[in-house]
């Protein structure tokens, strides 16, 4: 094989590879999750106002990274409950599980809340708690955020294909053995998201 023929073959292989990449790239982009949507922030705001905004609330602290609640019983799947009048679309379950397969960063500017609030980062939490949630650590937390009542945690929200149902975990930590968890089924009617059913609720302390 001559040097010229080798160059031609090599160039052809590069062009084929570039063509393959160009064709596959839009497909990858179409299937990628681009992040937390405006609709999710709309639901976050509604649920936070419903559960955590009280007349005496001065400051809300929200964990910057989304969370997925780890069930103590691995067979406990709230959406599988068969309750009278409660039908959860399987596509909402699948979407919830897919979106919560990893953690996501939340954007402070996207929240629309009626009270003062801020996001707390992983680094802040580690600097304060060091993996321990004892009384001394919480004293440090409230020295830094004296006007808060702990911090709120949010999962990603799973939607059904018709975007008329949504599944969300929301919870809070406020001290040693102090906090709550809520697993909510929301429905959209007349353009507004409202809580249809609180499928799970757990309080600590």
CA–CA separation, 138 vs 54, rounded Å? 21
Contact 60, 113 (CB under 8 A): yes
Mean pLDDT of 50-76: 85
User: What integer best gives the mean pLDDT of the chain?
Assistant: 83
Indicate the range of 13-17, 83-87, 105-109, 114-118 predicted with least confidence.
13-17
Q: With 50 as the cut, is the pLDDT of residue 100 above it?
A: yes
**pLDDT for 41 beyond 90:** yes
The reported pLDDT for the residue numbered 83 is: 61
What's the predicted TM-score (pTM) here? Answer: 0.80
Q: How many CB atoms lie within 10 A of CB 36?
A: 19
């Amino acid at each position: 094989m001559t040097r010229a023929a080798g160059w031609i073959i090599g160039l052809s292989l590069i062009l084929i590879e570039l063509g393959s990449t160009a064709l596959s790239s839009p497909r990858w982009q179409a299937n990628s999750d681009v992040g937390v949507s405006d609709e999710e922030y709309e639901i976050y705001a509604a649920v936070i106002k419903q559960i955590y905004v009280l007349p005496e609330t001065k400051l809300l602290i929200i964990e910057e990274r989304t969370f997925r609640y780890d069930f103590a019983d691995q067979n406990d799947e709230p959406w599988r409950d068969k309750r009278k009048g409660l039908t959860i679309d399987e596509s909402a379950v699948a979407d919830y599980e897919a979106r919560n397969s990893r953690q996501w960063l939340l954007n402070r500017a996207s929240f629309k809340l009626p009270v003062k609030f801020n996001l707390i980062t992983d680094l802040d939490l580690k600097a304060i708690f060091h993996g321990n949630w004892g009384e001394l650590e919480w004293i440090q937390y409230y020295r830094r955020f004296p006007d808060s009542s702990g911090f709120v945690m949010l999962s990603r929200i799973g939607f059904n294909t018709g975007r008329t149902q949504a599944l969300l975990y929301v919870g809070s930590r406020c001290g040693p053995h102090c906090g709550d968890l809520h697993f909510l089924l929301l429905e959209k009617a007349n353009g507004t998201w409202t809580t249809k059913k609180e499928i799970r609720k757990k309080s600590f302390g």
